[in-house]
Amino acid sequence: MKRFSYLILILLVGVSCTGCFELIEELTLNSDGSGHIAITFNGSQSKGKLNSVMKLETVNGYKVPSKSDINQEFYQLKKDLNAMSGISNVKISLDSDNFIYTVEGDFQNIPALNKALNQVAKSSIEKRNMPYRFTPFDHYQMSGRKFVRTGPDRDRVPDYQKVKMDDRQIFESGEYRAIYRFEQPIQSVSNDRAVVSKNRKAMMFHASVKELIDSKIPMANTITLQ
């Protein structure tokens, strides 16, 4: 989900300035491999700053989009995702007053989800002519009773060093949370930072974006189901 979250950040880079944000990735996996995913960007903690930044023309060299521009981007994203094979029921929830944006939808299987996420990230980077290299990869893998959340590939790290200092501050001021829910109970999780819910059917991972970027905390996680 790193690429997708990256896309959300790119969409809001013009208004992110130096405030804090929360990025929540929720995935529910059915036993047949299909499921539901929801990505939420919550900039509510920084709404004062964001409202001020919205009055500017540019920030960090990027054109600041208006609230309607941002909404328009999400409508387009919804349209694009709905047109992708294996993705359906895409919905968006836009709270421009509090800067909370959610995109959610159903997927037929994990490969379809990976393909959709890669496509969205690629077109977003290309459309904005951003100086970041795009390499598609599998964000999630499912094999037997093992569900794998892939961590950031080491090749991306040099790219991150090229990101402007001002932009890095935007990414590093955020919090990332991933919640995965399953029909079967969880037997074990490989990531020390991940916690399993009391009903053992959900797992939550929480870290600051800075910790993830600095590789202080690994993002990769293998969840073994019973």
Binding stretches for another protein (CB under 8 A): 22, 24, 26, 42, 44-45, 47-48, 51-52, 96-98, 100, 179, 181, 197-199, 201-204
Q: Which amino acid would we find at residue 163? A: V
Between 4 and 182, whose beta carbon lies closer to another protein? Answer: 182
**In the numeric block, which tokens belong to residue 134?**
């795009």
When the beta carbons of 11 and 24 are compared against another protein, the nearer one is 24
Sheet (strand 100-107) strand order: 87-95, 100-107, 35-42, 21-29, 174-182, 202-208, 195-196
Least Å distance between CB 207 and another protein? 15
Token duo for residue 109:
């299987």
> Measured from the CB atom, is 127 or 216 closer to another protein?
216
- Please state, in angstroms and rounded to a whole number, the distance separating the CA atoms of residues 124 and 128: 6
Contacts of 191 (CB under 8 A, 6+ apart): 205, 218, 219, 220, 221, 222
Determine contact, residues 139/150, Cβ cutoff 8 Å: yes
What's the N-to-C CA distance of the chain in angstroms? 24
Min dist CB 155 to another protein, Å, is 22
Comparing CB distances to another protein, the nearer of 109 and 224 is 224
Nearer to another protein, 163 or 204 (CB): 204
Q: Measured between alpha carbons, how far is 1 from 7 in angstroms, rounded to an integer?
A: 10
Taking the complex as a whole, the smallest distance from the CB of residue 195 to another protein amounts, in Å, to 9
Structure tokens at 199: 């009903």
18 versus 135: smaller Cβ distance to another protein: 18
152 by Cβ neighbours in 10 Å (0-12 / 13-18 / 19+) ranks as middle
Tell the smallest beta-carbon distance from residue 119 to another protein (Å): 28
Q: Minimum distance between the CB of residue 41 and another protein, rounded to whole angstroms?
A: 12
Closest approach, Cβ 95 to another protein, in A, equals 8
